[in-house]
């Protein structure tokens, strides 16, 4: 989805404050998309799959000159949460795409916002832009001498008005500056790449992959199946079935896991199969297969182990059988799955970061 970027490892704070800059020129699609996705990072995964959420949360706020509602240049309403004066310090600031014509003058156009952006950057915030939002970062002087990208149609504007910016218009995302605290993204749709980068940077790559799956970010040519994850089985009060579930969680790769589950439950085989289906909604074999496929997904996402080795570790003696079952479950091959969910995230380097807060 995007080229390799320099990115720090995530750190420990539980709440990460995000200021989304809003002005009359701001388009609302990206603004509200960023707000919604960042709001549901972690919690959305728990809500829809039942699995525990990640340890960190984003707190997005729309920030403008005042808290008064206004309409953008397309006539759509924007309701700010904070004024620039109230938003004294943030962890992340994002400037969404701006409706700016190629002949419109931008130099000297946004003095209040530019000064606020410089202040946030000086205080340690990560400053980001989407599409033509790079014009505002350039106007604030933050991109002087730094690499940056923007919408391909805005490259002439930036080169003509802000020649100190080292433009890389062929890139989807560019991180630059001290501690890589300047991140610019390309055309309008690149906000999804930016938000995954931010989630990976602050919450870890696993959380970013969950976010991509939850919102179907990336290649959807094979439908939804590649994004689907194993939903947590429902809670039940069948103690014998629970014992079988505990056993198989550690022994799903064993040669005959259904027999092992039956033995762990202490029930007769036919009784066990009937009660297991009633309690979990899965037959014992379906349950084992879903565990194995999910574990193999995790290994494909997080390791460079050969696919045949992953098949064996997941409990499949025949790699061909593993590939067939994996494709039946996800609609793509194990190799395609690895490429999709490994290449969707940027590479990382260590950069220190500490949390701050907005008022």
Q: Is the pLDDT of residue 357 over 60?
A: no
Q: Packing angle between helix 191-203 and helix 28-40, nearest 10 degrees?
A: 30
Percentage of residues of the chain with pLDDT beyond 90: 78
Q: 169, 26, 191, 37: which is closest to 97 by C-alpha?
A: 26
Eight-state DSSP code of residue 185: E
Alpha carbon distance 175, 347 (integer Å): 12
Mean of pLDDT over the chain: 90
Give 301-311 pLDDT, tens digit per residue: 989 999 999 99
| C-beta separation of 45 from 214 below 8 A | yes
Checking if the pLDDT of 347 tops 60, the result is no
Triad 141, 142, 148: Cα angle to 5°: 115
pLDDT tops 50 at residue 24: yes
pLDDT value of position 45: 86
Which has the higher per-residue pLDDT, 357 or 306? Answer: 306
Average pLDDT over residues 58-81: 95
For 178-208, what is each residue's pLDDT tens digit?
Answer: 999 999 999 989 999 999 999 999 998 889 9
Note whether 85 and 117 are within 8 A (CB): no
Asked whether 8 and 354 are in contact (CB, 8 A), the reply is: no
Q: pLDDT digits over 220-239, tens only?
A: 899 999 989 888 888 999 99
The whole model's pTM is what? 0.85
Phi, psi of 190 (to 5 degrees): -70, -5
Identify the structural domains of the chain with CATH numbers, from first to last: 15-215 (3.40.50.880), 239-343 (1.10.10.60)
pLDDT score of 356:
45
Q: Which residue has the tokens 């994002």?
A: 94
Q: Coil, helix or strand for 3? A: coil
Predicted local confidence at residue 11, as pLDDT: 44
Q: Where are the alpha helices (DSSP H) in the chain?
A: 28-40, 43-49, 111-122, 134-139, 155-161, 191-203, 205-215, 239-251, 257-265, 269-280, 284-302, 307-314, 319-330, 334-343
Does residue 151 have a pLDDT over 60?
yes
């Amino acid at each position: 989805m995007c080229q390799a970027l320099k990115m720090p490892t995530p750190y420990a704070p539980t709440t990460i404050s995000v200021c989304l800059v809003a002005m009359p020129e701001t388009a609302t699609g990206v603004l509200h998309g960023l707000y919604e996705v960042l709001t549901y990072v972690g919690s959305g995964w728990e809500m829809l799959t039942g699995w525990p959420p990640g340890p960190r949360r984003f707190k997005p706020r729309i920030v403008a000159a005042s808290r008064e509602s206004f309409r953008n240049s397309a006539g759509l309403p924007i309701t700010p949460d904070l004024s620039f004066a109230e938003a004294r310090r943030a962890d992340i600031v994002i400037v969404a795409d701006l409706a700016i014509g190629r002949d419109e003058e931008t130099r000297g156009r946004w003095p209040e916002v530019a000064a606020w952006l410089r202040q946030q950057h000086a205080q340690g915030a990560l400053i980001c832009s989407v599409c033509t939002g790079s014009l505002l970062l350039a106007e604030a002087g933050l991109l002087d001498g730094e690499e940056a990208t923007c919408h391909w149609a805005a490259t002439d504007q930036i080169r003509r008005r802000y020649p100190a910016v080292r433009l890389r218009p062929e890139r989807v995302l560019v991180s630059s500056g001290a501690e890589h605290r300047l991140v610019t993204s390309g055309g309008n749709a690149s906000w999804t790449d930016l938000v995954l980068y931010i989630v990976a940077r602050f919450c870890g790559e696993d959380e970013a992959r969950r976010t991509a799956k939850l919102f179907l970010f990336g290649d959807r040519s094979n439908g939804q199946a590649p994004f689907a994850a194993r939903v947590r089985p429902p809670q039940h009060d069948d103690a014998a079935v629970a014992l079988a579930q505990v056993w198989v969680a550690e022994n799903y790769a064993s040669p005959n896991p259904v027999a092992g589950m039956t033995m762990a439950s202490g029930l007769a085989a036919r009784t066990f199969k009937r009660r297991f289906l009633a309690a979990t909604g899965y037959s014992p074999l379906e349950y084992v297969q879903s565990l194995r496929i999910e574990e193999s997904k995790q290994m494909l996402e997080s390791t460079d182990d050969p696919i045949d080795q992953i098949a064996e570790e997941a409990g499949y003696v025949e790699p061909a059988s593993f590939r067939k079952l994996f494709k039946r479950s996800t609609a793509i091959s194990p190799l395609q799955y690895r490429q999709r969910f490994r290449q969707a995230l940027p590479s990382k380097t260590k950069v220190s970061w500490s949390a701050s807060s907005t008022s």
